Amino acid sequence: MTRILLCVGLVGCATAPSTLDLSDEPIDVAVALGIDHLEQAYSFTEHKRIDWDVVRDELQPLADAASTPEEEAHVLRRLVPYLPDAHVQLFHDDGDDLCPEARHSYDVTLTDLDDGRVIVAASGGPLEPGDTIVSWGGQPVDVAREGAPFWCFPLGAATNERRAQVQLKLLGRGPVGSTVDVEVLRDGVPRTETLSARPDTDDIRVALGIELPETMVDHRRLPSGMAYVRVGWEETYLAETRVQRALVGMRDAPGLVLDLRDNDGGMDMPAANIAGMFSTERFFYETVTFLNHRTFEQETIAELWVEPQEVYWGRPTAVLIDADTVSSGEGLTYLLKKMPQVQVFGFEGTAASFGSTGSGIDFPGGWHLTFPGGRALDERGRILLDSDHTLEGGNRPDQRLPWTEELVLRHHAGEDVVLEAAVGWLKEATR
Amino acid sequence: MIWLVLALAADPTDAGTAVRSHTAETLPAGEAVVRWPAGRSAVGLGDHTDAWLTPFDLTIGGPRVGVEHGGRLGATRWSLAPSVGAKTTLKRASLRLETNGSWDVGVHQLSGQVAVDVRLLRQLVVDEEVSRELSFDRVQAHVLGIWDTPHSRVKLRLPLADQGHGLTWGTVSAAWTHTTGRVHMAAGLGMLVGRPFDRYTLGHYAWWFWVPYPEVDLAVRF
């Protein structure tokens, strides 16, 4: 989940990502120095109104008292929620491991609906899809979700939407051997079930539904005759080459679905060049700034423009996004939203995390924290796409699918309702 | 490798097809020069005209062919070298005109060049109808100054305009040179300084670069 800056050789690389090595320090010193470093180096302290003194007051006593690897890990995990940014990630040398509070699964997937209910979207236990959650562990579900171990999620959650999703993901997990009583309404009839936490996976990404795309770019022809191109990430220029080839190969299609769901980001120039395939005009993209590690000032290192490419796709185009569309995937969405032939579809907005990442801190015990040290600015010099202190930001769908019970259940049953909506619009637009 | 690519991309003109490159000197009729690694090989068509080929011009991403026509006024030589290049995919084309002048001052020679490169984009337009359209893509203009002695060469190149930017970077190089009857060699070091602006080498990243690069030129005349 990166938005990479290309720092090439004999240049002023003080203005570039760097990693602070605190791995040999005791945990209390490492936490103190790490927070000091984040206060100086994290790009969005003011934008997100992070009060680092509050972070110190919360974490330093925990760090001072930590005496076991598990306690040290807990302190570091508690740091992540203070950085509401999907570019912030805590990971371990031995692979991401689940925290004890979310080790096992209650085998239930919960989701919010637009009408305010929380329902069961999928379940392998006694609960059934469509059940409305009334209480969880004896507490109203809205209270219970606030008590979910949010620190078990290894990525920052940059939006209110994402934060709510993470809470429900973690509510569906518990410590080894735990049980929870859940009161639901099924067909209007209240009932209580007891869920037992069971082992499911040791892979934190699988456990917490942090999806990663399998391929950089793939494409196919949909049964409707529309072209379909999925961009999983754009870390090399191969991404634009493959998108271009796909568009050329399917140039007789009346419309295009460009699927950016789960797009993991990459480099900005390939994203700009992909956007250039949808524009006949050259236009401004962003100014990139990065922290100068000598002066601790943000300095401009790049100005990016979108330029027309060798292929121009002017036909109706539906872009699909979700909350896992992050970084340069969000930049690409932002650019495509400017095109008159494009409509963006999704249940939710993008991850609102567009700052240039690659900075990091190595903590003791094999833990690493990555975070953005750079910003993207629009033509007026305003921060682009990253969420602010209200946890609002990113791209919103032009045509948002509502979280209704029917759509949610179909979505979790494996139907691609977002793609279905997009194809429906394309059929109308190309009629 | 990226340094070499960067430097070559930053140093796109290479007029002058006689033994020393970049000079306003054409090959006599029937003579030929084969040049390595990145320069242009040429054959004389007349006493004042030759035709040349650059197998792979990095700025366009494909071959470039052109002619050079020159003349002499006392100790001064001049030449014009129009050329056309195309990306190997034929999606981009380049029209370039180089104007060269050289002045002999004793054993020293001063050369100057102004080159204007206009690039065109051949777009596949997938819109209401699929069509192919040629559009203007980019203009680059450079000025180059050279000071040659019998065994050395110093070059300074500055961009006059590139995507609306001018004088944002430059290259300077110094090389040892040696010329026998048929063989010319040059080996030296160059430095690119500034913020080059190119689509595929760096994107538009705007660091201030200090990039050294090797300068190698081997020409054999037949």
Q: Report the distance separating Cα B37 and Cα B217, nearest Å.
A: 7
Decide if A311 touches B, using CB distance below 8 A: yes
User: What sign results for the dihedral spanned by CA atoms A212, A250, A270, A386?
Assistant: negative
Q: Are A117 and A123 in contact (CB under 8 A)?
A: no
User: What single-letter amino acid sits at A291?
Assistant: L
Q: How far is A119 from chain B (nearest CA, A)?
A: 44
ipTM: 0.80
Are B121 and A310 a contacting pair at CB < 8 A?
yes
Measured between beta carbons, which residues in chain A are less than 8 angstroms from residue B121?
308, 310
* The pLDDT value given to residue B133: 86
CB nearest B126 (choices: A10, A247, A300): A247
Decide if A431 touches B, using CB distance below 8 A: no
Q: Are B86 and B120 in contact (CB under 8 A)?
A: no
Instruction: For B162, list phi and psi in degrees, rounded to 5.
Output: -160, 110
Q: Report the distance separating Cα A135 and Cα A133, nearest Å.
A: 6
Global pTM reads 0.85
In chain A, what are the domain boundaries? 12-92, 100-201, 217-278+313-350+385-429
Instruction: Tell me which DSSP letter residue A234 carries.
Output: B
Are A269 and B91 a contacting pair at CB < 8 A?
no
Are B203 and A314 a contacting pair at CB < 8 A?
no
Q: Report the distance separating Cα A250 and Cα A264, nearest Å.
A: 25
* The pLDDT value given to residue B12: 46
* The pLDDT value given to residue B200: 41
Q: How far is A38 from chain B (nearest CA, A)?
A: 24
Any residues with CB less than 8 A from the CB of A325 and at least 6 apart, and which? A260, A261, A262, A263, A333, A346, A350, A351, A395
Q: How far is B102 from chain A (nearest CA, A)?
A: 35
Instruction: Tell me which DSSP letter residue A29 carries.
Output: H
Q: How far is A314 from chain B (nearest CA, A)?
A: 4
Query: Closest-CA residue in chain A for B207?
Result: A301
* The pLDDT value given to residue A16: 62
The architecture CATH gives domain A217-278+313-350+385-429: Alpha-Beta Complex (3.90)
Q: What is the 3-state secondary structure (H, E, C) of chain B?
A: CHHHHHHHHHCCCCCCCCCCCCCCCCCCCCCEEEEECCCCEEEEEECCEEEEEEEEECCCCEEEEEEEEEEEECCEEEEEEEEEEECCCCCEEEEEEEEEEEEEECCEEEEEEEEEEEEEEEEEEECCCEEEEEEEEEEEEEEEEEEEECCEEEEEEEEEEECCECCCEEEEEEEEEEECCCEEEEEEEEEEEECCCECCCCECECCCEEEEEEEEEEEEEC
CB nearest B207 (choices: A11, A267, A273): A11
Decide if B123 touches A, using CB distance below 8 A: yes
CB nearest A11 (choices: B91, B199, B209): B209
Q: Which residues of chain B have pLDDT under 70?
A: 1-19, 196-207
- Give the tokens for residue A34: 């790490």
Q: Summarize pLDDT for A181-232 with one digit per residue, the tens.
A: 999 999 999 999 999 999 988 888 888 888 788 899 999 999 999 999 999 9
Mean pLDDT of A13-21: 71
Closest CA to A226 of A428, A429, A427: A427
Q: What angle do the packed helices A417-429 and A405-412 form, to 10 degrees?
A: 110
User: What single-letter amino acid sits at A403?
Assistant: W
Q: Report the distance separating Cα B96 and Cα A328, nearest Å.
A: 36
B residues 141-180 lying closer than 8 A (beta carbon) to A: none
Q: Report the distance separating Cα A403 and Cα A422, nearest Å.
A: 16
* The pLDDT value given to residue A334: 98
Query: Closest-CA residue in chain A for B93?
Result: A310
Q: Summarize pLDDT for B27-68 with one digit per residue, the tens.
A: 889 999 998 877 889 999 998 999 999 988 877 889 999 999
Decide if A203 touches B, using CB distance below 8 A: no
Asked whether the domain spanning A217-278+313-350+385-429 has the same topology as the one spanning A100-201, the reply is: no
State the fold for domain A100-201.
Pdz3 Domain (2.30.42)
Q: Report the distance separating Cα B169 and Cα B9, nearest Å.
A: 13
Let me know if B69 is exposed, middle or buried by CB neighbors in 10 A (0-12, 13-18, 19+).
middle
Q: Report the distance separating Cα A332 and Cα A128, nearest Å.
A: 38
Mutate to test the interface with B, among A274, A300, A312 (most CBs of B within 10 A): A312
Any residues with CB less than 8 A from the CB of A320 and at least 6 apart, and which? A257, A258, A259, A260, A261, A344, A345, A346, A418, A419, A422
Judged against a pLDDT cut of 90, whether residue A366 lies above it is answered with yes
CB nearest A311 (choices: B124, B135, B212): B124
Number of Cβ within 10 Å of residue B54's Cβ equals 22
Q: Report the distance separating Cα A83 and Cα A42, nearest Å.
A: 9
Decide if A240 touches B, using CB distance below 8 A: no
Instruction: For B159, list phi and psi in degrees, rounded to 5.
Output: -80, 130
Q: Summarize pLDDT for A219-267 with one digit per residue, the tens.
A: 999 999 999 999 999 988 899 999 999 999 999 999 999 999 999 998 8
Domains of chain B, CATH where assigned: 2-221 (2.40.160)
Q: How far is A278 from chain B (nearest CA, A)?
A: 10
* The pLDDT value given to residue B201: 42
Q: Are A122 and A109 in contact (CB under 8 A)?
A: yes
* The pLDDT value given to residue B199: 47
